[in-house]
Amino acid sequence: MHNDITTDACLRGFPAKGCGRSNLQLNTYDYMADIPCNDTMSNLVEVQFKNTRKGYYRNDNHLLLCKGDIVAVEAQPGHDIGVVSLTGSLVPLQMRKAQLKPGTEIRRIYRHARPADLEKYEEAKAKEQDTMIRSRQIAKDLELDMKIGDVEYQGDGQKAIFYYIADQRVDFRKLIKVLAEVFRVRIEMRQIGARQEAGRIGGIGPCGRELCCATFVKNFSSVSTGAARFQDISPNPQKLAGQCAKLKCCLNYEVDTYMEAIRKLPERHVHLETTDGTFYYFKADILAGLITYSSDRRMAANLVTIPASRAFEIIAMNQAGEKPTALDEGLRVEKEKPIDLAKQDDLTRFDKAKKKKKKKKAQQKQQQKPAADNAAPSAERHE
């Protein structure tokens, strides 16, 4: 039965072994999981730790590892506890995508995590919130212009990583000494950006989906206001900014498509001449290839919407010294009726369907009554 289910899943193109735990951020779907001997193609394993931190390790002990296994890995000093997030032939590709620095040491995987390892890990993890709050107070007392956004303890509790944000360079040597004396662990400071902090914390965006930086975005590219301008998005800072207070990463997703579509439209400063007057560019539906012109340069007046092909045709006529009688001459533009999106959430939408069925039944009964009345006299005559 299990083999039948696996085969059916492969035929649909969704191998079940490639799915990972949904509680892990930046999860990678292993589409090669069901290929025979995929796990033995590479001894490299991707291990994920708290939030978006990942590492790559060697499986020198030839352990049988699957996605979701909790393992103890080599650390400096001691060992760390993480979850296997990817195995097989995709791991070298992920390492290339991560752009690791040349000469980066690839450490080893020790073993599957034991109950004692998990107990130490849970004890260290329980101290992270209190450590972060107290470290923020220490940084404030030292008058350091920085914000400690997250604290992550190593699996054995011997080291703590402090993630901080700072606009300028900060001399935190005194802070490290104080933190080491207070928490009795080895201290490591890592500076991150606002977008990386949002990815580590996670959350829900205004689109209703989980943040892109917490799900699949690993390399952050620069986003400019030009991306919003090309897509005719209102330059409202509150709407363009994400939870990191920076421009949303999703502004770059479709900007190439819009730029390609814009090249197929006439330029904005070109006016269209008709026998009735001059029409000026007002707005455009870039992806649909429709342009709206106004007879007034400063306000919406006598708006006419035409396709880009018609606009180029009129421009060519104007250059030849000709003027059409109207912009939409020879065009049959059908205005689409506005769609009421609230109807799909209307509670009475089921009652309307019932009323239609009742009307149909009533009409059928009325049609059957005359037929029955006509049949009754003929029966009497026969008698």
State mean pLDDT over 123-143.
93
The pLDDT, as a whole number, for residue 182 is: 93
Name the least confident of 59-63, 156-160, 198-202: 198-202
State mean pLDDT over 273-286.
90
Q: How many domains does the chain have?
A: 3
**Please, what is the average pLDDT of the chain?**
83
Cis before 237 (ω within 30): no
Does the pLDDT of residue 110 top 90, yes or no? Answer: yes
- Contact 179/132 with Cβ under 8 angstroms? no
Does the pLDDT of residue 378 top 80, yes or no? Answer: no
**Domain boundary, last residue among 196, 225, 251:** 196
**Domain boundary, last residue among 112, 141, 160:** 112
Note whether residue 33 is domain-resident. yes
The CA distances from residue 287 to 20, 258, 359, in Å, are 37, 7, 43
State mean pLDDT over 257-281.
91
**Higher model confidence: residue 162 or residue 367?**
162
State mean pLDDT over 135-141.
93
Indicate if 57 and 101 belong to the same structural domain: yes
Note whether residue 329 is domain-resident. no
Domain that holds residue 15: 2-112
For the entire predicted model, the pTM comes to 0.68
Name the least confident of 34-38, 198-202, 220-224, 366-370: 366-370
Note whether residue 133 is domain-resident. yes
Does the pLDDT of residue 330 top 80, yes or no? Answer: no
- Contact 30/66 with Cβ under 8 angstroms? no
Does the pLDDT of residue 9 top 60, yes or no? Answer: no
The pLDDT, as a whole number, for residue 332 is: 61
The pLDDT, as a whole number, for residue 68 is: 86
* Tokens at 78, concatenated: 């001691």
**Domain boundary, last residue among 148, 164, 196:** 196
- For the chain, the farthest-separated pair of C-alpha atoms sits apart, in whole angstroms, at 118
The pLDDT, as a whole number, for residue 40 is: 77
What is the percent of the chain where pLDDT is above 90? 35
What is the DSSP pairing of strand 70-74 with strand 186-191?
Answer: unpaired
Does the pLDDT of residue 130 top 50, yes or no? Answer: yes
Question: In sequence order, which residues have a C-beta less than 8 Å from that of residue 235 and are 6 or more positions away?
Answer: 225, 228, 229
Indicate if 154 and 180 belong to the same structural domain: yes
pLDDT band, very low/low/confident/very high, at 375 (cuts 50, 70, 90): low
Indicate if 180 and 148 belong to the same structural domain: yes
pLDDT band, very low/low/confident/very high, at 369 (cuts 50, 70, 90): low
Note whether residue 220 is domain-resident. no
State mean pLDDT over 297-306.
88
Note whether residue 12 is domain-resident. yes
Does the pLDDT of residue 2 top 70, yes or no? Answer: no
The pLDDT, as a whole number, for residue 51 is: 82
**Higher model confidence: residue 221 or residue 183?**
183
- CATH number at 185 reads 3.30.300
The pLDDT, as a whole number, for residue 189 is: 92
Note whether residue 176 is domain-resident. yes
Note whether residue 230 is domain-resident. no
For residue 17, the 8-state DSSP code is: G
- Beginning with the edge strand found earlier in the chain, give each strand of the sheet holding 147-153 in spatial order: 147-153, 159-165, 186-191
- Contact 21/27 with Cβ under 8 angstroms? yes
Note whether residue 297 is domain-resident. yes
Indicate if 9 and 93 belong to the same structural domain: yes
- Contact 156/79 with Cβ under 8 angstroms? yes
The pLDDT, as a whole number, for residue 349 is: 63
Name the least confident of 310-314, 335-339, 348-352: 335-339
**Angle in degrees, 0-180, between the axes of helices 173-183 and 128-141, rounded to the nearest 10:** 140
